[in-house]
Structure 1
Amino acid sequence: MSGTRIDEAVQDDSSRAVLLAEYEALKAEQTSRIVLRDRLMYAALAALAATLALVVQPAGRPYLLLLLPLVCVVLGWTHFVNDQKISAIGRYLGQYLAPSLVASTRRADQALTWESVHRHDPLRRLDKSVQLVVDLLIFAVPALLSIVLYWTADDVRADLLAVSIAEALFTLGFAVRVIAAADLSAGR
């Protein structure tokens, strides 16, 4: 092997090592974001249960219902952002890193095909639609219902009415953003 070919082989191995290290780091980040995203759903359900437990107490404190929209939107937004980053990492791996790995190996076959293949499941559109409904049911619907319940309470205060209107607008804005970002296509 000539000196040039050896240098090219070492450079190719080095490039592949860097690409594989990047892949491993991104997959680790993606995995940790998935764990956090999934835990946020449980946190939202716990917040719903805690708020309901406080509200149904004999003391009758309907203003506590206004805590739920804040908690739901904050948890929901964090869930949404993590979901967006998880998808962005997947797109990056499939669109940029995989072609670089293929080029570094000088082979015609693809690398990291799982990053795109699993998106062609025939039930993907249904699964994504159900996930959208679940996200809205966990993060937006309870928040809006708690606001409506507050509005129907006997002792609605003017200052808290203003807060509840702002919460309703923020919650609706959040829901619209989640719906707009939903990727309901059959494949990517």
Structure 2
Amino acid sequence: MPVNSTDDVTESMILLAEYDRLKEEQKTRIGFRDNLLYVTLAAATGVVAITAQSGEFQLLLSVPAVCLILGWTYLVNDEKISAIGCYVRDRLGPRLGELTSAHGAVFGWEAYHRNIAGRTVRKRLQTAVDLFTYLVLPLVCTCAFWCSPGVQPLLVLASLGQTLALAVLAWQFLRRTDR
């Protein structure tokens, strides 16, 4: 008889394996999400530097496009990170607790860290940083383009579309903020 027969696998073991995989995915997504801020700032700085050297102000319109793409990617990853935490807190932990007859929460950290003093302030400050990076920065570039010499009507129209898309992105950031 083989040592690793399927009879030796319990539901608790499967749930713990799922927990390990989810936490690994969450960790990877957090790293990716956090690096998106640096990539966005680097890209915007590069565009501004090239614009300043070349005097080609229409290049500034690439900043809103970059911020829209990276901002949306940031939001999607942030949503998945939160969904994993919610799933572990609300589904996986309680199910494992039932199976093991555990007293109290099985994955206590998942709820505990949400109640640490100052969390609300930190979340609001993070939202402010996110809005600055993905909304204010591209809007400043858009306004600089609008004020530049030789503005072309078609590019103004494109920039208005970008501004509308940035407003939608800002709404998504605000909507997903823990209140």
Matching residue's letter, 1:35: G
Aligned to 1:115: 110
Q: TM-score, normalised by structure 1?
A: 0.89
> What is the TM-score with the length of structure 2 in the denominator?
0.93
Deviations 1:111-167 (A, max 9, x none): 001001100011011000000000011111111111111111111101111110000
Kindly provide the amino acid, as one letter, of the partner of residue 55 in structure 1: T
CA contact (8 A) 1:12 1:105 kept: no
| Structure 2 residue ranges without an equivalent (≥5) | 1-5
Give the structure 2 partner of residue 70 of structure 1: 65
Any runs of at least 4 consecutive aligned residues in structure 1 with deviations exceeding 3 A, and if so which? 10-13
Mapped contact 1:65–1:146 kept (Cα < 8 A): yes
Q: Report the number of matched residues.
A: 174
1:105-184 pair list within 5 angstroms: 105-184=100-179
SS in 1 for 2:10: helix
2:83 aligns to what SS in structure 1? Answer: helix
Which amino acid in the other structure matches residue 20 of structure 1? Answer: L
Q: In the alignment, is the contact (CA less than 8 A) between 1:16 and 1:101 conserved in 2?
A: yes
1:53 matched to 2:58? The reply is no
One-letter identity of the residue aligned with 1:45? L
Identity of aligned residues (%): 37
Query: Equivalents in 1 of 2:87, 2:102: separation in Å?
Result: 20
Computing the radius of gyration from Cα coordinates, the structure with the larger value is: 1
The reply to whether residue 39 of structure 1 matches residue 41 of structure 2 is: no
Q: Matched residues in 1 for 2:127 and 2:95: separation?
A: 33
